[in-house]
Amino acid sequence: MKYFVAVYQKLKNIYMSQSSMENDLPMICPSLRIYDNEELELLKPQSLLNDEQKKALSIIKKQNVAYELNSVPISPNFWDLNPNNSLFDIYRDILDKNNLKDLEENLDKVLDSKSTVLFDAKNSDTKEFKAYKKYRTLSEDTVNKISDHLLLFDALDTDEEKNNWNDRLVSLNNLKELAFSEWKVKGFKDTIEKELTRINKSSDADLYLAMAQNAKHSFEAAEKTDVISNSSIHDINFIPYDFMENESGWNSMRIEKSELEGLHSEAKNSNENLPSEILSIDYDESMIQAVEVEYSFVHLKRNWFNKNFMLSNHFEWNEAKKISDGQTISNDFKLPAFPKTMILIKNLKVILDPSIISTSVSNAEQLVYFGPMVMKQQVFVNKNNNQKFLKAITNVKTIKSDQLNYLAKKTMIAETQKATVVNSMSARTTMDAEPVEMMKTEATTAFAGKMNTGNILNNIKNLRPLNPVPHGASPVQPTPQPTSPIKGPWGSWGPKFPTIPRPIPTPIPTPMPTPIPIPVPPPPPLGAMVQFNILDKINNEPIYKCAISIKGTNNNRIFEIESNEAGIISQLIPPGEYGIELRIDDYAVLNQNFSVNSALPLNLEYKLQREEVKFKSYFLIGMICERMPRIPVG
């Protein structure tokens, strides 16, 4: 776990050195949420979705993810999703319960300083004010058209399309200038805004009213247009907005072992916004030589959220639960902080010692972890530098599957049992000292061969190589007894009292019963070596790095592997029924079933159909929250 904490600490340091604000609050996400490309893309505003099918899906599916990413932190030590404590619900509740009965009174204050430029004798808008509103709207519409047009550029391919796009941009700019000129001349822009400035200086009540009413109107409009789902409220503007389509905003990073150790020590010593439970998990990661990862800081912008109206002197809050004291992050406050920037990582590679054994990773009975990240059951080799490394499982369905949860529990129970066996052997009497050491040596050998990588990366237990004497403990000493100058045949570990010779009785031979042969059924096969061949359906070319997810349909087996350059990968699969899912960018997902009924080798071939699909996945390793200032109370 400590190297996972070190990666987070590195990313936190980078963010704080680049763009941090006074109230920024970096927080680790210990459960490490994973989101795929489709889930995050559906959160975009509908104007940024070009696919009509995705627009329809976004209304239906995006609510859960939006609630997760809007989770308000209630602990000073970490951030995690909590749909029951969502910014969306909290903000709407504040709008409903803050003392809005004074809105009319504040509005009267504004009208008391009634202007003859804005209102006539009948308290109606003057013709100048009406013209101002009309031409301001027309001018704003032209600006919005330019904004929408700029978003189309990334989708252009040919020079002709780009030239046409540029001509349209010139035309829109001309229309914008014309509309602005009409606003100034026909809309009495300077005259009206001069008068508005005079009124605003005399009272900020109208400013508060504008902010409060705009916030309330956003929710009212969502409820009317989206009926139940309020899908427009769940929209999130990502910055950079195109981080899912290309490498914009992504950076590569390699952390060597020495730096990982230093970063973990830094996190442990500062103990800032990190749970002590996580920092205390310190297991053997000696086989890790480095970590490579790509990262991005993706900012979350919400059109409906405005904290400033809560800071106004006109804002009143008389509820028992205070909104914020500007310092404390806990459930005692309604809105102590809110999430504003995701710390995302992808393409994680854990670089291993060259002596790592591939079979220890491919063991079907053992999960391999990097912190909370589950790694694929396959050792990869970089042909450029011959380095061995592991990759993280990125299939969201696999991460959330019951099989993976079952295997995690099974792994934890197995390690607990192994630890119990070792402890019981250590507690044996001195008469059993020599056999105990032999048993422990055998257990160590078998355990190291089977769990080599699990010891290194497993975050569930504190796994270290077994020693005859437990680390930090003293050798087992015999219980103090009366001393004697005569030592037994066991030496210092043997009996302290002299042995008294006694006559040995002659044993009476007992007739041996005739053994009855009992038919023993042959042991069930451990499994079959299955070779998976992944090919392109059109040209039969092998497909490299195809992600293969195998899940047992009548057992809890699970495998996550990838095809090599020849489009082939072999895996020992125990008998049973299995479902297989093949995923790779630019191809449609293929789901099929297969069976292993014997120990005979099995050759399976799959052909994938080309289709424009992207299967990117992102791990949410942490969240930058913004601490709310102290909110005045009524």
| Angle (nearest 5°) at CA 56 between 55 and 61 | 100
Number of Cβ within 10 Å of residue 86's Cβ equals 18
Give the per-residue pLDDT at 203. 56
Has residue 282 been placed in a domain?
no
The distance from CA 292 to its chain's CA centroid, rounded to whole angstroms, is 17
Q: Rounded CA gap, 8 and 280, in Å? A: 16
Q: Within the chain, which residues score under 50 in pLDDT?
A: 227-228, 421-422, 425-456, 458-516
The distance from CA 357 to its chain's CA centroid, rounded to whole angstroms, is 29
The distance from CA 486 to its chain's CA centroid, rounded to whole angstroms, is 67
Beta-sheet pairing, 373-374 with 369-370: antiparallel
- pTM of the predicted structure, to 2 decimals: 0.67
Give the per-residue pLDDT at 21. 83
What Cα–Cα distance (Å) separates residue 356 from each residue in 35, 378, 435?
30, 11, 30
Has residue 288 been placed in a domain?
no
Has residue 354 been placed in a domain?
no
Has residue 560 been placed in a domain?
yes
The distance from CA 123 to its chain's CA centroid, rounded to whole angstroms, is 56
Q: What Rg value do the Cα atoms of the chain yield, rounded?
A: 34
Residues 346/618, Cβ–Cβ less than 8 Å: yes
Q: Which residue has the tokens 């609050």?
A: 25
Residue/partner pairs of 555-558 with CB below 8 Å, 24 or more apart: 556/402, 556/403, 556/406, 556/407, 556/410, 557/364, 557/403, 558/398, 558/401, 558/403, 558/404, 558/407
Give the per-residue pLDDT at 521. 56
The distance from CA 97 to its chain's CA centroid, rounded to whole angstroms, is 34
Give the per-residue pLDDT at 464. 32
Q: Give me the torsion for CA of 279, 281, 284, 286, rounded to 10°.
A: -20
Residues 139/234, Cβ–Cβ less than 8 Å: no
Q: Please give, one letter per residue, the 3-state secondary structure of 608-629.
A: ECECCCCCCEEEEEEEEEEECC
Beta bridge partner(s), residue 295? 251, 345
How many domains, the chain?
1
Q: Rounded CA gap, 540 and 562, in Å? A: 18
Has residue 535 been placed in a domain?
yes
Number of Cβ within 10 Å of residue 371's Cβ equals 24
Q: Give me the torsion for CA of 27, 64, 372, 584, rounded to 10°.
A: -120
Has residue 557 been placed in a domain?
yes
Q: Which amino acid is at 287?
A: M
Largest CA distance in the chain: 132
Phi, psi dihedral angles at 532 (to 5 degrees): -105, 125
CB contact set of 162 (below 8 Å; sequence gap of 6+): 153, 156
Collapsed DSSP state (helix, strand, coil) of residue 340: strand
Q: How many CA atoms lie within 13 A of 547 on its CB side?
A: 23
How many residues comprise the chain? Answer: 634
Number of Cβ within 10 Å of residue 136's Cβ equals 17
Parent domain of 602: 528-613
What's the token pair of residue 428?
Answer: 């044996």
Provide DSSP, 582-610. EE-TTB--EEEEEEE-SSS-EEEEEEEPB
Residues 378/561, Cβ–Cβ less than 8 Å: yes
Q: Rounded CA gap, 226 and 196, in Å? A: 35
What's the token pair of residue 229?
Answer: 């789902």
Q: Rounded CA gap, 273 and 3, in Å? A: 17
What's the token pair of residue 456?
Answer: 């290194």
Give the per-residue pLDDT at 619. 92
Has residue 599 been placed in a domain?
yes
Q: Which amino acid is at 439?
A: M
Give the per-residue pLDDT at 204. 60
Beta-sheet pairing, 528-536 with 602-608: parallel
| Crossing angle for the helix pair 103-112 and 205-225, to the nearest 10 degrees | 130
Residues 2/265, Cβ–Cβ less than 8 Å: no
Q: Which residue has the tokens 């039969």?
A: 540
Has residue 24 been placed in a domain?
no
Phi, psi dihedral angles at 304 (to 5 degrees): -90, -10
Q: Rounded CA gap, 117 and 195, in Å? A: 7
CATH of the domain at 575: 2.60.40.1120
259, exposed or middle or buried, with CB in 10 Å at 0-12, 13-18, 19+?
middle
**Of 508, 572, 566, 515, residue with least CA distance to 365:** 572
pLDDT per position as a tens digit, 20-71: 788 899 999 888 788 888 888 878 877 777 777 666 666 677 788 888 899 9
Give the per-residue pLDDT at 206. 62
Give the per-residue pLDDT at 271. 66
Residues 562/569, Cβ–Cβ less than 8 Å: yes
Q: Rounded CA gap, 422 and 531, in Å? A: 38
